[in-house]
């Protein structure tokens, strides 16, 4: 089975604020939305960023972010170089989990550390209805953001694509090593959840093998607002560098054995162990000689990564794991939250505690005050941790930490 992804240039972007506002107006938990476009080089800082989504639409009329049926079949159009960015300052209320600050800079040193500094960002600053509750507000924001992403891709239906990529895995080539992608999706509770076909990762029957094209085609969407740099917004799933690279290398340096989606933040020691072993079994069933294990967010999701690494190695599947470091940049102490001796091949995607130099934006979108109370215009150096996706553990960027 094959899936085609047709790319269209960002010049097709037309933002009709009234249509976006109409989508928000249909949501009882939302009081409105401000719509702005922030382009590379403009002296703009975007704050309170929750998610970023690439505009997508299917010419056959099926939804771009399906909650039923199957993604990764037929053709999907994408508006390349554009991100729909949802921003919200959740009302203060008693709740178990709190969103962390998320920043995108369009100029200055911060523009270099996230991919969004080089993209046209359609910024949706949502205004919640007081008392609606974080669950309803979050659901509404995600619904509208995905709908806007589909809306903005509509002009592609009348245009000629710049490029059409075909994703289809041919027969494995004998003699090449088989590599599986084991992709972790958070589910710690509301605001810390990745969704699989609209279902929280913890209720999606994970770990489970998927067609890798499903990940690239909108099957996984993000409602995970833990540390921004270690967050995997929807657009990283849509554009998974790992899955794309494995497709590209298939039949050349390796055989792409397949994709396993796993839950991060399994909630008990027994569940963590059981899920790790189940993921390893799936990798074996796919015939993998090796597996690349990605991580989502931080804290005990790193334990899930490490236990999965150990389970794979014990099952005879060799591993490389991708994790962010979190080391005090003035200290020589290690920055890993968890580790097993089997994790002898770790890709660094940077140290989230290292700072990005200060920069004074002329304009702030999303909210003037950062969550820590400092003014976004006058903030001094900001930890890499606060920049959206800067040390993401899917391997989307070229950042790494090295020893000084």
93 touches other proteins by CB under 8 A: no
329 touches other proteins by CB under 8 A: yes
88 touches other proteins by CB under 8 A: no
Say which residues have a Cβ less than 8 Å from residue 185's Cβ, sequence separation at least 6.
Answer: 194, 196, 201, 206, 220, 232, 261, 262, 263, 264, 296
Residue number with CB closer to other proteins (74 or 189): 189
Residue number with CB closer to other proteins (57 or 102): 102
404 touches other proteins by CB under 8 A: yes
351 touches other proteins by CB under 8 A: yes
Total interface residues for other proteins by CB under 8 A: 71
Supply the DSSP symbol for 295: -
Residue number with CB closer to other proteins (156 or 385): 385
DSSP letters of 89-133?
-PPP---S--PPP-BEESSSTHHHHSGGGGSEEEEEEEEEPTTS-
322 touches other proteins by CB under 8 A: yes
Beta carbon of residue 235, minimum distance to other proteins (angstroms, whole number): 15
Residue of 38, 343, 379, 388 that binds other proteins (CB under 8 A): 343
Residue of 163, 344, 362, 368 that binds other proteins (CB under 8 A): 344
350 touches other proteins by CB under 8 A: yes
Residue number with CB closer to other proteins (55 or 239): 239
Residue of 18, 171, 331, 372 that binds other proteins (CB under 8 A): 331
d(CA 166, CA 25): 38
2 touches other proteins by CB under 8 A: no
241 touches other proteins by CB under 8 A: yes
402 touches other proteins by CB under 8 A: yes
**Three-point CA angle 250, 255, 258, nearest 5°:** 95
Name the strands in the sheet holding 346-351, side by side, starting at the edge strand that comes first in the sequence: 208-210, 255-264, 178-186, 290-293, 318-325, 346-351
Residue number with CB closer to other proteins (1 or 118): 118
335 touches other proteins by CB under 8 A: yes
Task: List the beta bridge partners of residue 282.
Answer: none
Residues 211-240 contacting other proteins, CB under 8 A? 227, 240
Task: List the beta bridge partners of residue 185.
Answer: 263
254 touches other proteins by CB under 8 A: yes
Q: Which stretch binds other proteins (CB under 8 A): 10-18, 27-35, 271-279, 346-354?
A: 346-354
Residue of 152, 191, 196, 401 that binds other proteins (CB under 8 A): 401
Residues 18-57 contacting other proteins, CB under 8 A? none
How far, CA to CA in Å, does 207 sit from each of 204, 238, 276, 283, 376? Answer: 8, 19, 8, 10, 40
Residue of 130, 332, 372, 373 that binds other proteins (CB under 8 A): 332
Q: Scan for tokens 């396993």, then name that residue.
A: 260
349 touches other proteins by CB under 8 A: yes
Phi, psi of 154 (to 5 degrees): -55, -40
Q: Which stretch binds other proteins (CB under 8 A): 90-98, 120-128, 159-167, 215-223?
A: 90-98
| Closest of 342, 352, 338 to residue 310, by C-alpha | 342
Supply the DSSP symbol for 140: H
d(CA 18, CA 332): 53
Residues 276-295 contacting other proteins, CB under 8 A? 289-292
Residue of 345, 358, 375, 381 that binds other proteins (CB under 8 A): 345
Residues 377-396 contacting other proteins, CB under 8 A? 384, 391, 393-396
Total Cβ atoms within 10 A of residue 124: 28
How far, CA to CA in Å, does 3 sit from each of 74, 173, 211, 217, 282? Answer: 5, 21, 10, 9, 23
Q: Supply 2's token pair.
A: 């094959």
């Amino acid at each position: 089975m094959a899936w085609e992804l047709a790319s269209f240039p960002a010049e097709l972007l037309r933002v009709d604020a009234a249509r976006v506002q109409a989508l928000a107006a249909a949501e009882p938990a939302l009081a409105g939305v401000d719509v702005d476009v922030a382009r590379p080089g403009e002296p703009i800082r975007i704050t309170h960023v929750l998610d970023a989504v690439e505009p997508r639409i299917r010419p056959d009329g099926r939804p771009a972010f399906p909650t039923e049926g199957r993604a990764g079949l037929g053709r999907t159009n994408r508006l390349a170089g554009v991100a729909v960015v949802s921003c919200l300052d959740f009302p203060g209320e008693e709740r178990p989990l709190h969103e962390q600050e998320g920043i995108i800079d369009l100029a200055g040193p911060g523009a270099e550390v996230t991919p969004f500094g080089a993209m046209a960002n359609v910024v949706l600053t949502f205004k919640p209805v007081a008392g609606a509750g974080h669950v309803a507000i979050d659901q509404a924001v995600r619904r509208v953001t995905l709908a806007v992403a589909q809306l903005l891709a509509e002009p592609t239906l009348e245009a000629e694509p710049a490029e059409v990529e075909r994703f289809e895995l041919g027969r494995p080539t004998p003699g090449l090593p088989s590599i599986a992608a084991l992709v972790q999706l958070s589910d710690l509770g509301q605001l810390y959840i990745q969704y699989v076909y609209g279902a929280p990762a913890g209720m999606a029957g994970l770990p489970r093998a998927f067609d890798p094209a499903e990940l690239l085609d909108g099957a996984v969407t993000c409602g995970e607002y833990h540390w921004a740099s270690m967050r995997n917004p929807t657009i990283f799933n849509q554009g998974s560098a790992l899955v794309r690279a494995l497709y590209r290398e298939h039949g050349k340096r390796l055989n792409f054995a397949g994709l396993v989606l796993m839950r991060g933040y399994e909630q008990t020691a027994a569940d963590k162990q059981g899920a790790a072993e189940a993921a390893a079994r799936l990798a074996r069933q796919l015939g993998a000689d090796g597996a690349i294990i990605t991580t989502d967010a931080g804290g005990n999701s790193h334990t899930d990564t490490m236990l999965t690494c150990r389970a794979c190695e014990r099952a005879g599947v060799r591993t490389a794991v991708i994790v962010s470091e979190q080391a005090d940049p003035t200290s020589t102490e290690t920055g890993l939250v968890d580790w097993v001796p089997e994790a002898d091949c770790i890709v660094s995607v940077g140290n989230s505690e290292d700072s990005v130099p200060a920069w004074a934006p002329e304009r702030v979108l999303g909210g003037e005050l950062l969550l820590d109370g400092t003014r976004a215009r006058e903030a001094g150096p900001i930890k890499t941790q606060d920049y959206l996706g800067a040390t993401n553990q899917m391997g989307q960027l070229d950042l790494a930490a090295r020893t000084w």
